[in-house]
Amino acid sequence: MKKQSFETVVADHGPTVLRVCLAVLGPGEADDAWSETFLSAMKAYPDLPADANVEAWLVTIAHRKAVDVTRAAARRAIPVDEVPEACAAPGADARDLDLVEAMSKLPAKQKQAVAYHYLASLPYADVAAILGGTTDAARRASADGIAALRRSYPGITEPGTTASGITGEQR
Amino acid sequence: MNSPDVPGDLAQALAATPAHLTALHERLAAAAEVGGVLDIAYRTVDTPVGTLLLAATELGLVRVAYASENHYAVLQTLADRISPRILAAPTRLDATARELDEYFAGRRRSFDLALDWRLSAGFRATVLQHLATDVAYGQTATYGTVAQLAGNPKAVRAVGTACATNPLPVIVPCHRVVRSDGGMGGYLGGPDAKRTLLTLEATA
């Protein structure tokens, strides 16, 4: 099996990894985390087995970078009253902005579980491997996160039946 | 709104613009160059013989490819044979692009570029190196003459093969090799490209 050029890796996975960084870190730190992720990945790329799941590998690196960035930010620790400004795509409507803001307010574990499972399409077993803990815990964190996000939609005030808890992959 | 698509909406809300991704790509290419992990940088240039792919290692220009060679396939071959640490990163190829511009404008008769010869070996490499130094701008040589220059007068067919597999066309002037009966002979970039280059050099 042939290994693709790293340019192809960036083209294929760059947008998803950026979404993950935005979801987990917010706009202030996402660019730095993305850049450090791909630079680290490029260094290690020749040693990656040709049949490896490249996206899972990238998300694992992005997770470690995000943890580093968050720790560094905590050390700098300037308490602020507001959560960082929500960053949404240009042309995003009010509902998108609400959704992104709701995402930024989730507990870290839920935010990560939602990002890795729903934005990066990793099975819960892979999400659990990245986060530590069991596959069930990863599934629960993701379901709780989605339920909280659902409440940010206009007209929906209750968590309801959270169908998301059972629609996710059961792997 | 009975069943909002939360993950789908979230993915859409967090989609980056192409300009944002381009800026991140440029930042990565610059950091990879500084960090010594950019094994191969490439870009394309538009020329009178079509879009050329230019690729360089840290040692120098390693590949020039015609569009007819399929640039995607050429990059995959570079990944297989040299390193998969490849990025579109034009800076390393600025001098090459500038010299090609000058050449196609008729203002440059030889190239002053560092070349990485690792994609050619043996007799083929000998042939190409003689071509690069012994057959001047505006001149042509027959396959037989080039075989003599390379030290093996009988290896006329091998000269043809060396030209057909030249990893650095235009820069290493295999287009100046013609048939002894006056015919133009084949060319890896196609007969039109060969004619364009020979006409340019005859008239500039």
Q: What is the domain partition of chain B in residue ranges?
A: 9-104, 122-203
More confident residue, A95 or B103: B103
Task: Report the mean per-residue pLDDT for chain A.
Answer: 84
pLDDT of residue A83 exceeding 60, the answer is no
User: Three-class SS of residue B79?
Assistant: helix
CB contact under 8 A, A39 and B28: yes
* pLDDT of the residue at A77: 67
pLDDT of residue B175 exceeding 70, the answer is yes
Percent of chain A scored above 90 by pLDDT? 63
* pLDDT of the residue at A3: 92
> pTM for the complete prediction?
0.87
A1, part of any domain:
no
CB contact under 8 A, A42 and B37: yes
Q: Which of A128-142, B28-42, B175-189 has the lowest mean pLDDT?
A: B175-189
Q: Which tokens hold the place of B46?
A: 């538009």
* Average pLDDT score over residue span B92-98: 97
Write out chain B residues lying below 8 Å of A99, CB-based. Answer: 6, 9-10, 13
C-alpha dist (Å) from residue B33 to A113, A114, B30, B93, B121? 34, 34, 5, 12, 27
Nearest-CA distance A5 → chain B (Å):
5
* Average pLDDT score over residue span B172-180: 95
A153, part of any domain:
yes
Fold (CATH) for B9-104: Double Stranded RNA Binding Domain (3.30.160)
Q: SS3 sequence, B149-174?
A: HCCCCCCHHHHHHHHHCCCCCCCCCH
* Average pLDDT score over residue span A8-26: 95
CB contact under 8 A, B87 and A7: yes
Number of domains in chain A: 1
- Going by pLDDT thresholds of 50, 70 and 90, the confidence category of residue B191 is very high
For chain B, say whether A99 makes contact (Cβ under 8 Å). yes
More confident residue, A108 or A156: A108
* pLDDT of the residue at B77: 97
Residue A64: phi, psi to the nearest 5?
-65, -40
Is the Cα torsion angle B110, B116, B121, B122 positive or negative in sign? positive
pLDDT of residue A57 exceeding 80, the answer is yes
Is the Cα torsion angle B176, B178, B183, B185 positive or negative in sign? negative
Residue range of the domain that includes A121: 6-167
Summary count for chain B: helices (H), strands (E): 8, 6
* Average pLDDT score over residue span B86-93: 97
Tell me what ipTM this predicted complex has.
0.90
A160, part of any domain:
yes
Quote the CA–CA distance of A158 and A148 in Å, as a whole number.
9
pLDDT digits (tens, 9 = 90+) for B118-153: 999 999 999 999 999 999 999 999 999 999 999 999
pLDDT of residue B187 exceeding 90, the answer is yes
pLDDT of residue A118 exceeding 80, the answer is yes
**Which top CATH class is B122-203?**
mainly alpha
Nearest of A33, A167, A53 to residue B28 by alpha carbon: A33
* pLDDT of the residue at A36: 96
pLDDT of residue A158 exceeding 90, the answer is no
pLDDT digits (tens, 9 = 90+) for A35-46: 999 999 999 999
* pLDDT of the residue at A1: 65
pLDDT of residue B85 exceeding 60, the answer is yes
Write out chain B residues lying below 8 Å of A18, CB-based. Answer: 14, 16, 20-21, 24
Neighbours of B146 (CB within 10 A): 27
